[in-house]
Structure 1
Amino acid sequence: MKLVDRRMLAPAVGHYVFVRNDGQPLDFIPGQFIQVHFNYADGTATKRSYSLATIHDHTLGPGEAVEIAVSFVPGGAATALFEGLDAGGQIDASGPYGRFCLMPGDQNQRYLLIGTGTGITPYRAMLPQLAQLMSERGIEVVLLFGARTPEELLYGDDFRAFADAHPRFRFVPCFSRELPDNPHADVRHGYVQQHLAEFAPDAGTDIAYLCGNPNMVDACFDALKQAGLAVPQIRREKYVSSK
C-alpha cells in the first residue's frame, strides 16, 4: 500500500491514509483489521495489527483510501517505520482479518460500545452501519470512550458530530486526568469502567463491545457479566502496544 496522507490525532497517535498499489479496493467489514509486515533492524520478520478506521457505506471503490491509527511507542520498531514514512512511501500489509464486527442476526435493542485509545477505531468504521440500524431497527447506541486528556480523544469530533446528527447515538467521553473546558453534558471524569453502571447494562436488551486496554476490557467484562449479560453478548478485542 502507498501512503497518501498522514496527520497527528494526538501527541503519540498518527492517522495514516493509504491506497493499494494495484488500485483495487480493500473490501472489509467494519471492525476488522490489517496486519503490516516489516523487518527488525537485524532482518527478522515481524508484523503489527491495526484496526481499520475507514468510514464507508458498503465496499470501497477502486483506489479509495484505507485508514488506520498508529500509536507511537518510544523505541518501537513499528513506530520507526511509520514515523519515517512520507507521502508516496510504501508498506506491505495483509488482511482483512477479525470478527469484531456487528452481526447481521443481532436482535438487540441497544449496543454498548466501550473503547480506550486506538481501540476506538473499529467504532469509527462502524458509524454508517450504526446509522442504518438506528434507522431500520430503531436501536440505541452508547459509546463510552476512555482517554486521559481532551487532546487524546481520538476522532472525538467525528463521534460528537455523529451524535449530534443521530439522537439515538450517545457519545460519552470519559477523561481520567483532565476535563475539557466547557465540557459537553455527556462528558465524565474517570475511567469508562467507573461509569458503565450509569447506563444500566441489561441482558434483555444489550450487546456490548469492548476494545482497547486489557485492564479496561477485563474490568468491563466482569461488570457486564455481573449485570447478567451472557458471554455471547459481550464481544472483546484487547489492544497491547508492542515494540
Structure 2
Amino acid sequence: MSIWNDYVTLLTESGPDIWSGFKITLALLAGSLVVAFFLAIPLGIARSQTSGWASHAARVYSSIFRGTPLLVQIYLFYYGLSQFESVRDSFLWPVLGDSFYCGITVLALNLTAYMAEDIRAGILGVPHGEKEAAMAYGLSRFQCYRYIIVPRALGIVTPVLGNEVIAQLKATALVSTITVLDMTGVVRRLSANSFTIDALIVAGVVYALTTLLVSIIVKLIEHRNTRHLRR
C-alpha cells in the first residue's frame, strides 16, 4: 500500500510538472512530424528517380542523416553551429539558438530522411499499370504524382510510417540533453532530487500508453486506406 501512496503523492505534487513536460513532448512530436512529412514527399519522389541531380542530392541527404546517430546531430546543431559567428549573425540563429526549436528542427530533418525512404519504397510499389492508366487519361507528370502515385504510395507504407511516428515519439527524449524540459527532462530532474525511479516509471507508462494510442490511430488509418481492397 505504501508503494501506491508514494505514486499518489508523486502525481499530486509533481503531476502538473510531468503534464507540462508531456505537452512539450507532444509539441516536439507534432512539430517534427508536420515538417518531416512535407519535406519527405518531394525527397521521396527524388529518391525514386534513377538519375538526375535531385536524386543524387536526396541520396546524399538520406545517407548523412540515416548514417549518423540522432544524438550526435542534436549536439552538432545546438552546440557545434553556435561556434560560427556567421551562423549567429544569420536568420537561422533564432531557431538554432533556441533549444526547443533547434530540437524540433533536428528531429524533423532526421525523420525526413527515414520517411523519404519509406515513401520511395511506396512509390516503387505502386503498380505500373496504374501509372500508365493515369498517363493515358491525360494527366501531366505532376498530376500523376499528386493524384495517383503519392496517395497510393502513402497508403502502401502507412504501417511503416506509423512505426516511424512511434520511433519519433521515443526519440524526442533525446532533446532533453540540450536543456529542453520535455517529459524525460522533467522526470530525470525529479528522480535526481528524490533519489528514486518512481518518476521514471510514471514516464515509461505514459510513453507506453501514448504509443498504444498512436498504434490504434495508425490501424484505423490503414483500415480506411485499404477499404477498396476489402470490396
What TM-score results when the alignment is normalised by the length of structure 2? 0.25
The structure whose residues are more often strand, as a share, is 1
Q: For the pair shown, which has the larger CA radius of gyration, 1 or 2?
A: 2
